[in-house]
Amino acid sequence: MTITVRYFASLREALGPQEQVAFQPGLTVGALREALIATGGAHAEVLARGRAVRCALNQVMSREDALVPDGAEVAFFPPVTGG
């Protein structure tokens, strides 16, 4: 299955705007994050478990246990703060 992973704000600065990723069916958003972290480099740094990262699945805020369907869009971004 192929999905589009999009990045926003500081994650976009480090990783670029988006990438296409191929995975096996049954993937969760959390497993996708872990797989991206495992690639090392900038992915490991900006998506690290100690960092606050929000996610959306098909443009809807999502928990990490959500299943990712084929052709989906998963977005990662830092939490938004108001002022």
Q: Which residue has the higher pLDDT, 48 or 81?
A: 48
Asked whether 53 and 77 are in contact (CB, 8 A), the reply is: yes
C-alpha dihedral (30, 46, 16, 19), degrees to nearest 10: -20
Q: Which residues, including other chains, have CB under 8 Å from residue 6's CB and lie 6 or more apart? A: 17, 18, 73, 74, 75, 76
- Please report the pLDDT score of residue 58 as a whole number: 97
Note the pLDDT tens digit of each residue in 44-67: 999 999 999 999 999 999 999 999
Does domain 2-77 correspond to CATH entry 3.10.20.30? yes
CA torsion through residues 57, 7, 35, 30, sign: negative
Q: In the structure encoding, which two tokens stand for residue 52, read together?
A: 């606050």
